[in-house]
Amino acid sequence: MLALERVTKVYRVPGGASITALRDASAVVAAGRSVAVVGRSGSGKSTLLHLAAGVDEPSSGVVRLLGRELSAMGDRERTLARRNGVGLVFQFFHLLPHLGVLDNVLLPALVAGLDPRREEPRARELLERVGLAGRERHPVQRLSGGEMQRVALCRALLRRPPLLLADEPTGNLDEENGMRAMELLLGLARDEGSAVVYVTHSRELAALADECWTLHSGVLEAGGPAWRRGAGDGG
């Protein structure tokens, strides 16, 4: 699903200085696997997700999404690869407040230029699976935080993406609702056959993944459940 091959990302800052956010990182995410990414604030976690989604480009090295090298694509081709192959889940949900629950879930279809009416049965099925059947026309402002995150998850899964990328997806929820949301996210992704890469500061949430990657000042340790052995610090 996703492969990083000796990926480095350097940001230039005013005055000619530079910051290396990711250094010579290599890792692979197999189909259907879940990966937690942990590390202190500023360790490079969000940079890794941006590179994986093709939102940013590496300074050196190769990022492959579904077997295709992102840097070899033009901007439009990379956008289409992200639209068709990646589902994104965010900490602050990014729902549109002027739309109801169902219309928010259908947004990826509208963005892709598809007829939302053809996607509506799929959207309703997902909402039923997350316990929101009967709430399709409700304004999203009237939902709880946990319910908003469930809507955001349905939206991310609408087009059956092979890869889900989630940046602190429970960071705006309390501990109990955060655990429920993450268990739901991973369970639905498993049922759909999607791989998942998610950033978290929580030891408990990281322990739900098949494997854990730890970042220390841009250096990636990948390939095993290091977090469960107590290595690293979420900060």
Q: How does 153-170 read in b/e, with b if 16+ C-beta sit within 10 Å? A: bbbbbbbebbbbbbbbbb
User: What per-residue confidence (pLDDT) applies to 223?
Assistant: 64
**Among residues of the chain, what percentage have pLDDT more than 70?**
94
Note the CATH architecture for domain 2-95+160-229.
Answer: 3-Layer(aba) Sandwich (3.40)
Structure tokens at 66: 């579904």
CA-angle at 233, arms to 232 and 235, nearest 5°: 155
Tell me what the pLDDT averaged over the chain comes to.
88
Domain segments of the chain as ranges: 2-95+160-229
Structure tokens at 105: 């879930």
| DSSP state at residue 63 | E
pLDDT in tens, 96-129: 999 999 999 999 999 888 898 999 999 999 999 8
pLDDT above 80: residue 171 = yes
Counting Cα atoms < 13 Å in the Cβ hemisphere of 193 gives 5
Q: Which amino acid, one-letter code, is at 208? A: L
Element (H, E) at 199: strand 195-199
How far apart CA 235 and CA 54 sit, in angstroms, is 27
How far apart CA 132 and CA 101 sit, in angstroms, is 9
pTM, entire model: 0.87
Band of the pLDDT at 163, cuts 50, 70, 90?
very high
pLDDT above 70: residue 226 = no
User: What per-residue confidence (pLDDT) applies to 224?
Assistant: 60
Query: According to DSSP H, which parts of the chain are helical?
Result: 45-52, 75-85, 101-105, 107-111, 116-129, 145-157, 175-192, 203-206
pLDDT in tens, 40-76: 888 889 899 999 999 899 999 999 998 899 988 988 8
